[in-house]
Amino acid sequence: MTDVGLSDLGVGDIDVPYLDVSPAAGDTAGTATLHRPDGTSAPLAVTAGVVSTDPVTGVASRRLTSEPITFTQAGKWVLSWTATGTGAGAEDAVFWVTPRPAAGGPTWTPGLSRVAAYIPRLTVDQTTPGSATERGTFDDHTNPTGQVAQRHIDDAVAEVAALAGTVPDALHALASAIAARRAAASILRAYGDDRSGQNALAFAAALDARADTDLTRLQTEIAEDEEPYGIDVAPAYSFPPAVPWGDYI
């Protein structure tokens, strides 16, 4: 049974979560219960897809898809899946929903999945033995968890904001990319190992170097944007006429 976690989301987002069950057969079915941050819960309608067989492994699987979810609250959401029949089992998908914009931070703050895109191997499910599935975000199944990764993001955003100041709307995407690379480098230094598939410290240094270059560019763009418009005018000086006796010794 393989669950697919949801990426980081913001209040107001809508998503359709699903669960891939393997092995599976025609009797594979399932239910889903959504637990909201405020403590309330609700069952979700689940639709079972067709049973498909992997041509290489010969193992059959079936996708269970829940009804769309509208995320109305910030905080930790839990989607509890229960599969019945062939491939029976239970799985919880834990994910985080942030306020929009994120409380206490600028609107250009990158999300967990944006940072994970730079270090995808660190998003592999660590709770399922032998799993090689990259979840594409950080959550309770990854190392670091979503909470820890978010602390690295918060620190990276604080650094960029302190060095760049107020970022104009047109430069939000650049500021977000810089903070994402900074956070990815920080996470890689703390958690990088053979999972990254490369020299973690060298890759972190490369991410930081790119962030440094882009930060300089961002600071330059902001400085130019803040320069006053107008034409420089040379100063004009005026002196009283010289007195005639000033020419005599």
Give the residue from 161, 146, 144 showing the smallest Cα distance to 109. 161
Question: What tokens does 152 get?
Answer: 């690295």
Give the residue from 51, 69, 52 showing the smallest Cα distance to 12. 69
Longest Cα–Cα distance of the chain, Å, equals: 120
d(CA 160, CA 138): 22
CA angle 177, 180, 181 (to 5 degrees): 90
Greater model confidence, 133 or 53: 53
**Per-residue model confidence (pLDDT) at position 126:** 86
Greater model confidence, 242 or 218: 218
- Sequence length of the chain is 249
**Per-residue model confidence (pLDDT) at position 88:** 95
Confidence of residue 5 (pLDDT cuts 50, 70, 90): very low
pLDDT of 121 above 70: yes
Q: Is 212 helix (H, G, I), strand (E, B) or coil?
A: helix
Give the residue from 36, 63, 59 showing the smallest Cα distance to 48. 63
Give the residue from 205, 159, 158, 164 showing the smallest Cα distance to 184. 205
Which of the residue ranges 26-30, 188-192, 206-210 would you say has the lowest mean pLDDT? Answer: 188-192
Which of the residue ranges 59-68, 125-134, 215-224 would you say has the lowest mean pLDDT? Answer: 125-134
> What DSSP assignment string belongs to 30-44?
EEEEEE-TTS-EEEE
pLDDT of 92 above 80: yes
Q: Could you tell me whether strands 46-53 and 14-15 are parallel, antiparallel, or unpaired per DSSP bridges?
A: unpaired
Region 156-169 average pLDDT? 93
d(CA 127, CA 120): 16
Region 166-193 average pLDDT? 92
pLDDT of 8 above 80: no
pLDDT of 4 above 50: no
Question: What tokens does 165 get?
Answer: 């100041």
pLDDT of 195 above 80: no
Confidence of residue 12 (pLDDT cuts 50, 70, 90): confident
For 64, the enclosing helix (H) or strand (E) is strand 60-66
**Per-residue model confidence (pLDDT) at position 111:** 87
pLDDT in tens, 49-84: 999 998 888 999 999 999 999 999 888 899 999 999
Question: What tokens does 153 get?
Answer: 């993001």
**Per-residue model confidence (pLDDT) at position 184:** 96
Whole-number CA gyration radius for the chain: 28
pLDDT of 3 above 50: no
pLDDT of 243 above 90: no
% the chain with pLDDT above 70: 83
